[in-house]
Structure 1
Amino acid sequence: MASERAPRRRSLVYIVLASAVVMGGTGVGTAYVKAQAHADVGRVSSAAAAPVAAGASEEASVEPVADPTVEADPTVEPDTLLSEAMKPVTAAAEDGAEVSVAVLDVESGDHAAYGDGTFDTASIVKVDILATLLLQAQDENRGLTAQEKQYATAMIEVSDNASASALWTAIGKAEGLAAANKRFGLTDTEGGTGMLWGLTQTTAADQLTLLQQVFAKNGAASELSEASRTYLASLMGSIAEDQGWGVSAAGAVRTTGTAGGRFALKNGWLPRTATGLWDINSVGRVTTADGREFLVAVVSNGNTTKAKGISLVESAARAAVSVFATESGTADRS
C-alpha cells in the first residue's frame, strides 16, 4: 500500500462532538481503493464503464449541533462574525477533530472564512476533476465524449471511484489538475500522488474559489463556459438520495435529492487507514427560505465516525450561512 501523506495544517481547531451512529459505505475495486481500503464511494451506477462491486450502506439520522443566530452587522468583519458563530460548534464537538469553513453570499459578494488548515479532499476533488476535464475540452474546442459523460455522471451523482480514476488519468492526474487550478485561481490545492486523487490537499478557501468558478452568474468571471458550468452544476444538483447530507443542512430544504433545486453539492468521506479517523467534507450551493443563495465549503478531519463528521460539517455550514442572516431572522434551518 502506498504511504499516506500527513495533511499540512496551518491552523487547527480542536473540537468535541456529540455521539452518533457509525454509517456504512460502499467499495469499488480501483487502483485508488486498493491504496485506500475504504475510500468513499456512493451507489454504483450502471453508467460507470469500469466494473464495480456494489455494497450496502446504512444511513442514520444525525441531528446537527444547534448553533445560535448571528445577525449580519455591517460594522463587524464577516470573519469575526463567523468565528463567533462557530464557537458553539467547536465547543460541542469531539476532541481531536478539525474543521474549516468558507462561505459566500452570492448576491452581495460578501464572504467569510474560519480556519485556514489544509485537508484531504476525499471525493470533493471530483468536482475539480470534472471542472478540469471541461476546461481542457473547451481548449480543444470540443464537447465531452459519450464515455466521458458516463464517467462524469457516475463520478458526481453517485461518487463512483472507478469513474473518477478514469477521468483523473484523462486529465493528466495531478499535473493536469494543477494547470487548471492555476487558471481557476486556486493557490493552496495540491493533487494526490499517482492515482491517489482522494489524498489531494486543499483548503476551504480554495474550494470556495472553485465553487465560484462553477456557479458564476450575473457576469462574474469564470474560466468555464456557461455550458460547462450548467453541466457541472446540474450533476451536483442530481446527487444520489443517500448523499444529500452536508452543506445542504444550511438550505431551506433538509430532504435528500435535488430538493427542488434548493441545493447542489458534492460530499467526500474517507476513513484513514493509519488512524481509523474520518475525513468528512462537503461543498456546494444552497438556497435559504427567503431565496438567497450561498456557496459553502466545509472540510474536516479527525472524526471518530462518519456520522460525527457529518454532524460537524452540517453544523459548520449552518453557522456559516447564519453570518449573513436576514434582518428579520435567520437562514432557514428546517
Structure 2
Amino acid sequence: MVRTGRRTARVTATEGEEPEVDLDAALTAAVEPLTAGADGVRVSVAVLDTGSGARAVHGDGSFDTASVVKVDLVAALLLIAQDEGRALTAVERERAAAMIERSDNASTTVLLREIGGPAALDAANARLGLTGTTAAHAWGLTRTTAADRLTLLRAVFGTDSELSTESRAYLRGLMERVGAGQRWGVSAAGDRWALKNGWMPRTTTGLWDINSIGRVRADGRTCLVAVLSDGQPTKESGITLVEAVARAAVEVSGRAR
C-alpha cells in the first residue's frame, strides 16, 4: 500500500514491478529499533512526501505540544486578520516573529489571551482540519497527535488551506528563520528546512517532551515531517532521538517512488 494524503492506495505488483509497500508498517519497522532500550520514552511520527503524496504515520497517541503550538497560534492570528480584512499590525508581527524565531513564551501567553483563549485556538485549528488537538490555558500542555501536526503543516505549506497565500508565505518565512540554537529536529533529515521545535521538562517527572515539526528537502524530494515524543531523560538525548526518527521517516517516504 502507498499512503496518499488521507487515502490508502493499493499498488499491485506485476512482473518487473516492485512489490506492495505498506508505508505505515515500514515506518514502524524503521522507528522501533531507534527507541529500543529507551524505557518510558514514547515517540510518534508522521511524514508526507509532497511530490508523490506518499504519507506514513507511526503511533497514534496524544502528546503535549510544548512550543510547537506556537505555529497554531500564529495561524489562528492570521485567520482572524483575514476574517477582518486586514494585515497584521506591527505589534502582532513583532509578537509572531518572537514566538516562532525565538520561541518567546511571554509573547505566546499574550497572544493566546488576545485571540480569545483556548476555545478560539480550537476553533481556528478546526478550520484548518485538525481533529485530534485540544488547546489548554497552559498552552504548552495543549494535546495533539503527529497526524494532526502533519495536517497543520499541510495547511501552512500546501495550497488547499483556509490560510491565504500571503498568510502561508508569512508563516513559512518565520519558520525558515528560527534562531541558530533551535535549528535541530526535522532539519537533520535534509536541507531547505522550515521548522518549529518544542521542548519542555515536566515538573512531575523531570522527564522531557521533545517535539519537532517542519519541512525539509532531501534527495530531490520535499517532505513535511512531525515528530512528537515524551518521557525523554534529557533534552539532549531527546533531540538525538527525534532527529534519528525524522531521518528514518524521510527515508521511508521515498520508498513509494
Query: Normalization by structure 2: what TM-score?
Result: 0.90
- In the TM superposition, what whole-angstrom CA distance separates every residue of 1:221-273 from its partner, at most 9, and x where no partner exists? 10000000000000000000000000111114xxxxxxxxx100000000000
Q: Hey, what's the Cα distance between the residues in 1 that align with 2:228 and 2:141? A: 13
The reply to whether residue 221 of structure 1 matches residue 160 of structure 2 is yes
Contact kept? 1:85, 1:322, Cα under 8 Å: no
Runs of at least 5 residues in structure 1 that lack an aligned partner in the other structure: 1-72, 253-261, 329-334
Distance 1:124 1:145, change over 3 A: same
Task: Provide the residue aligned with 1:161 in structure 2.
Answer: 105
Q: After alignment, is 74-83 or 167-176 more displaced? A: 74-83
Structure 2 counterpart of 1:265, which letter? L
Task: Provide the residue aligned with 1:248 in structure 2.
Answer: 187
When the two chains are superposed, the root-mean-square deviation of aligned CA atoms in Å is 1.4
Contact kept? 2:49, 2:254, Cα under 8 Å: no
Task: Provide the residue aligned with 2:15 in structure 1.
Answer: none
The reply to whether residue 187 of structure 1 matches residue 116 of structure 2 is no
Matches within 5 A, 1:7-26: none
Q: Hey, what's the Cα distance between the residues in 2 that align with 1:227 and 1:191? A: 25
Q: Which of 105, 119, 136 is the matching residue for 1:175?
A: 119
Secondary structure of the 2:253 match is: coil
Secondary structure of the 2:248 match is: helix
Contact kept? 2:47, 2:253, Cα under 8 Å: no
Q: Hey, what's the Cα distance between the residues in 2 that align with 1:128 and 1:327? A: 30
Q: Hey, what's the Cα distance between the residues in 1 that align with 2:106 and 2:71? A: 15
Task: Provide the residue aligned with 1:76 in structure 2.
Answer: 21
Runs of at least 5 residues in structure 2 that lack an aligned partner in the other structure: 1-17
Q: After alignment, is 275-284 or 168-177 more displaced? A: 168-177
Contact kept? 2:63, 2:230, Cα under 8 Å: yes
Secondary structure of the 1:75 match is: coil
Contact kept? 1:125, 1:198, Cα under 8 Å: yes
Task: Provide the residue aligned with 1:31 in structure 2.
Answer: none
The reply to whether residue 204 of structure 1 matches residue 138 of structure 2 is no
The reply to whether residue 232 of structure 1 matches residue 176 of structure 2 is no
Query: Normalization by structure 1: what TM-score?
Result: 0.70
Q: Hey, what's the Cα distance between the residues in 2 that align with 1:315 and 1:224? A: 31
- In the TM superposition, what whole-angstrom CA distance separates every residue of 1:102-124 from its partner, at most 9, and x where no partner exists? 00001111100000000000000
Contact kept? 1:97, 1:301, Cα under 8 Å: yes
Task: Provide the residue aligned with 2:213 in structure 1.
Answer: 283
The reply to whether residue 310 of structure 1 matches residue 249 of structure 2 is no
Q: Hey, what's the Cα distance between the residues in 1 that align with 2:216 and 2:96? A: 22
In terms of fraction of residues, the more strand-rich structure is 2
Contact kept? 2:35, 2:41, Cα under 8 Å: no
TM-superposed deviation, 1:74: 6.0
Q: Hey, what's the Cα distance between the residues in 2 that align with 1:263 and 1:104? A: 14
Task: Provide the residue aligned with 1:112 in structure 2.
Answer: 56
Equivalent residues, number: 240
- In the TM superposition, what whole-angstrom CA distance separates every residue of 1:275-324 from its partner, at most 9, and x where no partner exists? 10000000000011x32100000000000100111011111111101112
Distance 1:223 1:240, change over 3 A: same
Secondary structure of the 1:325 match is: helix
The reply to whether residue 322 of structure 1 matches residue 251 of structure 2 is yes
The reply to whether residue 300 of structure 1 matches residue 221 of structure 2 is no
Q: Hey, what's the Cα distance between the residues in 2 that align with 1:157 and 1:173? A: 22
Q: Hey, what's the Cα distance between the residues in 2 that align with 1:82 and 1:247? A: 15
